[in-house]
Amino acid sequence: MYDADDSEAAHMDEIHDGDLEGFAPYTQEEKLAYVKRRLASFVPSQVGKFVVMRKSDHANCPALYLVDRRKKRDMWWSPYARYAMVYDHKTAADTAASRLKYGHATVKRVTPNMTTGGPR
């Protein structure tokens, strides 16, 4: 079928012959928007848990979440839910929020609208 000195990759390259070079199903803007949506949304298993958040100073970023320092060490607040510190109990989140001096931190329950898939 193949010669011993030929590779399968070389034969696949002959078959495709570069006809997919200009094919791009998604634009760069669509890819970035998708990544931002994924980062800014919680996982469905986190619904009903609590996060500490505050309002952002920037118009394009509505909320900032307290960062879990085990995941990200170079920042304290992030707009991405992926790095958020998620608490199982409201009292633990209230305690963490009360320790913060600046930013008017509040505690919020994670709802289905805040998840990756949206409401179920």
Q: Which string of b and e fits 45-64 if b means at least 16 CB within 10 Å?
A: ebbebbbbbbeeeeeeeebb
Tokens of residue 37, six digits:
């949506």
pLDDT at 102: 84
Give the start-to-end residue ranges of the domains of the chain: 49-120
Q: Which residue has 């008017």 as its token pair? A: 104
Tokens of residue 80, six digits:
């991405």
CA-CA distance, 72 to 55, in Å (whole number)?
20
pTM, two decimal places: 0.67
pLDDT at 3: 59
pLDDT at 120: 47
**How confident is the prediction along the chain (120 residues), in pLDDT tens digits per residue?**
555 556 666 655 555 555 555 556 778 888 777 777 777 788 889 999 999 999 888 777 778 999 999 988 898 998 888 899 999 999 999 999 999 988 889 999 999 988 876 554
With 0-12 CB in 10 A as exposed, 13-18 as middle and 19+ as buried, what is 75? exposed
